[in-house]
């Protein structure tokens, strides 16, 4: 077991898992620093859960290595590695009460001061009064916190969370996101969070690895991933994106000019040439007051007809059909009283070219 002095960073080196001909995880390399809140984000079947299970020791890698600091745990049994998991649907032992569930790992290792440790962690999750209840007598949110307590009480070098909030309703999920982040700060453990919910990943994690088809598509801080997605997949998986196909014309100062069916548009300087897709988030696009005025200098401008407008409270979401018949989404924050445009209106749209990004054409 890793002694606390050694560096507790987690390393996945060229990690691969195949089932028959199918590569669930395809030569992944990741470095997760000690104490970070790391998210593995991707659609179901992307390999994130298999990756997690290999870190947990519940699945044996086909090749590659899993290291904590200098310690190679690739083939260590699940019960021999300083890694604990908060399971999807919690997997609380139904025949044991909450106290015994939390004490389970401590008892296996004959940890001293068991009583105090369990009580402390019960306090941390604010469920001290339910210590003698059985899991079935708890609400979903309470079970979720018990599952978390059962794992962190062992002070693992790495804590894995497998879709931990998936079974909760929306309001509770928001509350638990805050709660999880608070607990992570408080205990200072490395959290690796597997989820398919981009908002969940972005709201909690320091670093996100977006996975698809067994490989990491992009790695970075939530803001970077959102504002500068590197691939079409990342752009569409994290939030909503409009993409306009075009051809690179050439550089223009800090920008690259792209020729599209809706006119010449600019995006931040890119190395890509030839066919590209220009991406822009719906909330970055604004309506011009009139067709001729209100557009700042240097903005990207397109024109179209509003085909749909739905008011959803904080914003109104429009669908605008451009000249080339392509439809794009535009989110307008609800600052004015009433709607800005009606279905059928001719509109001029613009956005700051720094909010565009280039994606390799599909």
Partner 1 sequence: MNAPVVPVPAAGVQAVRSTKAGTRRRWTPYLLLLPGLLWLGIFFIIPLASLLMQSLQTPVPNGLAGQFQQTWRFQNYIDTLSQPNFYNAMIRSFTYSFIATVLALLIAYPLAYAIALRAGRAKPLLLVLVVAPFFVSFILRTIAWKQVLGAEGPVVSTLQALHLVQQNFTIYPSSAAVIAGLTYNFLPFMTLPIFASLDRLDTRLVEAANDLYAGNLVAFRKVTLPLTMPGVVAGTLLTFIPASGDYINSELLGGSVNTTMIGKVIDSRFLVLSDYPAASVLSFTLMSIILAAVWLYVRKAGTEELV
Contacting positions for partner 1 (CB under 8 A): 56-58, 77-79, 83-85, 87-89, 91-95, 104-105, 108-109, 150-151, 154
Closer residue to partner 1 (CB): 24 or 225? 24
Shortest reach from residue 84's CB to partner 1, in Å? 6
Closer residue to partner 1 (CB): 8 or 135? 135
Closer residue to partner 1 (CB): 149 or 258? 149
Shortest reach from residue 40's CB to partner 1, in Å? 17
Shortest reach from residue 166's CB to partner 1, in Å? 14
Shortest reach from residue 94's CB to partner 1, in Å? 7
Closer residue to partner 1 (CB): 140 or 263? 140
Closer residue to partner 1 (CB): 19 or 93? 93
Closer residue to partner 1 (CB): 59 or 286? 59
Distance separating alpha carbons of residues 220 and 323, to the nearest angstrom: 36
Shortest reach from residue 340's CB to partner 1, in Å? 51
β-pairing, 37-41 vs 207-212, is parallel
Shortest reach from residue 104's CB to partner 1, in Å? 5
Closer residue to partner 1 (CB): 108 or 323? 108
Distance separating alpha carbons of residues 119 and 102, to the nearest angstrom: 9
Shortest reach from residue 1's CB to partner 1, in Å? 10
Closer residue to partner 1 (CB): 150 or 196? 150
Shortest reach from residue 195's CB to partner 1, in Å? 18
């Amino acid at each position: 077991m890793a002694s606390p002095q050694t560096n507790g960073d987690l390393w996945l080196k060229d990690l691969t898992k195949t089932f028959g001909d199918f590569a669930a995880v395809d030569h992944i390399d990741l470095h997760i620093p000690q104490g970070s809140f790391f998210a593995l984000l991707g659609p179901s079947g992307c390999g994130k859960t298999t990756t997690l299970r290999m870190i947990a020791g519940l699945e044996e890698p086909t090749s590659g290595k899993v290291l904590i600091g200098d310690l190679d745990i690739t083939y260590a049994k699940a019960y021999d590695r300083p890694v604990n998991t908060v399971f999807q649907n919690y997997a609380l032992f139904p025949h044991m009460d909450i106290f015994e569930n939390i004490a389970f790992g401590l008892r296996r290792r004959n940890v001293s001061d068991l009583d105090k440790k369990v009580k402390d962690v019960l306090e941390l999750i604010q469920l001290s009064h339910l210590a003698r209840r059985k899991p079935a007598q708890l609400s979903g949110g309470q079970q979720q916190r018990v599952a978390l307590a059962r794992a962190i009480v062992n002070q693992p070098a790495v804590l894995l969370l497998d879709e931990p909030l998936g079974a909760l309703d929306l309001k509770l999920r928001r509350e638990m996101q805050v709660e999880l982040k608070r607990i992570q700060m408080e205990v200072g453990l490395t959290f690796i969070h597997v989820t398919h919910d981009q908002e969940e990943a972005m709201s909690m994690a320091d670093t996100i690895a977006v996975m698809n088809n067994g490989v990491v598509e992009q790695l970075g801080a939530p803001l970077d991933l959102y504002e500068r997605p590197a691939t079409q997949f990342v752009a569409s998986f994290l939030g909503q994106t409009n993409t306009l196909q075009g051809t690179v014309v050439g550089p223009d100062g800090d920008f690259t000019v792209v020729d599209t069916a809706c006119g010449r548009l600019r995006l931040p300087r890119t190395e890509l040439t030839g066919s590209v897709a220009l991406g822009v988030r719906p909330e970055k696009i604004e309506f011009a007051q009139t067709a001729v005025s209100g557009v700042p200098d240097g903005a990207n401008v397109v024109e179209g007809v509003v085909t749909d407008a739905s008011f959803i409270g904080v914003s109104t979401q429009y669908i605008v059909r451009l000249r080339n018949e392509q439809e794009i989404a535009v989110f307008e924050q609800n600052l004015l009283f009433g709607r800005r445009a009606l279905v059928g209106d001719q509109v001029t749209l613009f956005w700051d070219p720094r909010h565009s990004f280039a994606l390799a054409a599909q």
